[in-house]
Amino acid sequence: MATKASRPGRRLIAFGVVIAALYGGVALGGEWKPKLGLDLQGGTSITLEAQTPNGGNPDKAKLDEARGIIDQRVNGSGVAEAEVSTQGNRNIVVDIPGQNASRLVDQVKQTAQLRFRLVAASAPGSPQPTPSASPSGSASPSASGSASPSAKPSAAKPTASTPSASPKGRALSGGLVAADGTKKKAKPSASPAPTMTPQASPSASAAPAPTTTKAGAPVSDPLKWMDNPGDAWIKKFSAYNCPKNGPSTLAADDKDKPLITCDDSGTKYLLSAAMIQGTELTKADAGIPQDQVQWVVDLTFNSTARKVFANVTGQIANATSSLTGQQKQFAIVLDGKVISAPVVNSAIPNGQAQISGNFTQASAQALANSLKYGALPLKFTAPVVTEEGPTLAGDQLSAGLTAGAVGLLLVLIYCMIYYRGLGVVVLASLAIAAAMTYAVVLLMSKAAGFTLTLPGIAGLIVAVGITADSFIVYFERIRDEMRGGKSLRVAVEAGWARAKLTCLAADAVSLLAALVLYIFSIGVVKGFAFALGISTLIDLAVFFWFTKPMVTMLARKRFFYSGHKLSGLSPDHIGIDKIAGAPRRTVGGNA
């Protein structure tokens, strides 16, 4: 104990390094102003109108469900201070802090129907001068098919443009599963595939590749269908061109039917019926894996989908399509649009996959939120986006900030008058706490979307009182010990042993109150609770690693341990006859 007390300078230096690291993180983020809420700076208002087949009003329960899902998407952490409400019988209004927030429109209206399908063919989505545009020239598509190879590949050859690439360079991986080294296990023939094995015709092994038939394989068996989609779907695929204004589907995205659609890069795909749906996801998170620098989206499936996923990836891993001659692909389709069409290098048995490649933090988190919080039960028309001014008048904001500044100033004046020299500790501690709070608010704004509103500012100001309480408790404990006849140095340590327990108990109550408010409240109250919790934690850090070491250092200064009148520890100020251990002065003035 004495050793710790004798080296307060080390703790102060370490604490200074922590503060420097916080501001280093702020500098890396490049944001030196906190995000402000709707009440302080205004924002963007997005109005969504629900669509119904008959043009009538949607079901109120579905409208409320859609409102809840959108609220979770734009305000998943609870501290972004976005406001989502229903308006009338068919509108949902989303108010998002900050101007030019229209980038969130797609995330807001995303229906988020996620499906995993197998890729039968892919090709450039723009018109191609293909020879023999009609693959139906092979009028003999019956079983044997020696003539078929000459006709069918003409429709499927465009796949050579994207043999293994996925849109935007994205890929699918199995987390901890090795990407290679398991190729033998990945062969389709090695997979047990109890009901979906496509190797049902071993007698055809003499041919270099199985041929397609006119009718094609059953749609209900995607593993077989991807090698033999039939003439009708090949014709549709050959004739389809991706629209210039963005990806679109040929027909509705029906999970039980094949799909022809595009990705953002303009590549078109012929896809099987859905193998796995987004409703079978149990978890979707955005993050940066260890030892990597790129954002990814991690997916975890439930037990049923895990078995299907393991079976399918085991059969298509490192396998070549008999229709196209290219490596087989697995397409991830979100709302009828291909967001990733990766190849699979090994079976993924643990139900954990990862979408990676060219994600920004915003795009990765937006996709994860859309998948995590589910599909919207309604479709909406094109949103109406408007810019809104602050909901709080400028004079009210000025009055609130002025009140907080006056309150803080009164606390400082009181401490300087009553505690005199010890008031310097209060002043320095509050300044350090303010610096830490500002750095943490900036970092949270960047990392978690924390938005500062007037209730949040109130939470930060309330914490000033908590911090002041810690000082008062500690200083009064020191005085009590000195009244008991102890010297200042001993009183500092003895008072600390008692004061820290009292302060920990008080801060624990504040943290518990903030936690309960954060969990059970909504809207701006949640922001108040978040700010209060952060401030309370900062108070503990400052109290333990700045205030205590600083008082220990001051106790070694003659100005304080001798009981100077301005130190705040003079005998008359404490209410004792003399300070224990204070040096006696001789006539000559020597100690």
Task: Tell me the pLDDT tens digit for each residue of 518-540.
Answer: 888 766 788 888 888 988 999 89
Residues 6+ apart with CB under 8 A from 10: none
Our measurement of the distance from residue 591's CA atom to the centroid of its chain's CA atoms, rounded to an integer in Å, reads 64
Q: How far is Cα 138 from Cα 144, in angstroms, rounded to an integer?
A: 12
pLDDT at position 461, please? 79
The per-residue pLDDT of the chain, averaged, comes to 75
Helix (H) or strand (E) holding 527: helix 524-542
Handedness of CA 32, 35, 39, 44 (dihedral sign): positive
Residue pair 426/412 in contact by the 8 Å Cβ criterion: yes
Q: How far is CA 574 from CA 426, 471, 488, 584, in A?
A: 18, 16, 12, 19
- Tell me the range of 207-211, 240-244, 455-459, 498-502 where mean pLDDT is highest: 498-502
Instruction: Tell me the DSSP string of 2-25.
Output: HHHHT-HHHHHHHHHHHHHHHHHH
Is a pLDDT exceeding 70 seen at residue 180?
A: no
Q: How far is Cα 530 from Cα 527, in angstroms, rounded to an integer?
A: 5
Both tokens assigned to 182: 């398991």
Is a pLDDT exceeding 80 seen at residue 137?
A: no
pLDDT at position 71, please? 80
Both tokens assigned to 540: 């503990």
Is a pLDDT exceeding 90 seen at residue 209?
A: no
Q: What residue ranges define each of the domains in the chain, with the CATH number in brackets? A: 38-108 (3.30.70.3400), 111-128+149-202+212-375 (3.30.1360.200), 393-574 (1.20.1640.10)
Both tokens assigned to 546: 């700045």
Residue type, 319: A
- Average pLDDT on 240-254 reads 65
The count of other CB atoms within 10 Å of the CB of residue 280 is: 19
Q: Which residues of 395-423 are buried (b: 16+ CB within 10 A; e: fewer)?
A: eebeebeeebeeebeebbeebbeebbbbb
- Please give the torsion angle defined by the CA atoms of residues 568, 569, 575 and 581, in that order, rounded to the nearest 10 degrees: -170
- Average pLDDT on 74-95 reads 76
pLDDT tier at 496, thresholds 50, 70, 90: very high
Q: What are the pLDDT digits (tens) for 399-454?
A: 767 877 887 888 888 888 888 888 889 889 888 988 999 999 888 887 777 777 77
pLDDT at position 246, please? 54
Q: How far is Cα 496 from Cα 518, in angstroms, rounded to an integer?
A: 32
Give the range among 31-45, 171-185, 262-276, 293-307 with minimum mean pLDDT: 171-185
Is a pLDDT exceeding 80 seen at residue 196?
A: no
Residue type, 370: S
pLDDT at position 462, please? 80
Nearest to 111 by CA among 322, 379, 424, 504: 379
Is a pLDDT exceeding 90 seen at residue 20?
A: yes
Instruction: Tell me the DSSP string of 200-223.
Output: --GGGGGSSSPPP-SS-S-TT-HH
Is a pLDDT exceeding 80 seen at residue 475?
A: yes
Give the range among 122-126, 515-519, 526-530, 583-587 with minimum mean pLDDT: 583-587
- Please give the torsion angle defined by the CA atoms of residues 452, 455, 457 and 462, in that order, rounded to the nearest 10 degrees: -150
Q: How far is CA 394 from CA 39, 44, 347, 390, in A?
A: 10, 19, 60, 8
Q: How far is Cα 344 from Cα 341, in angstroms, rounded to an integer?
A: 10
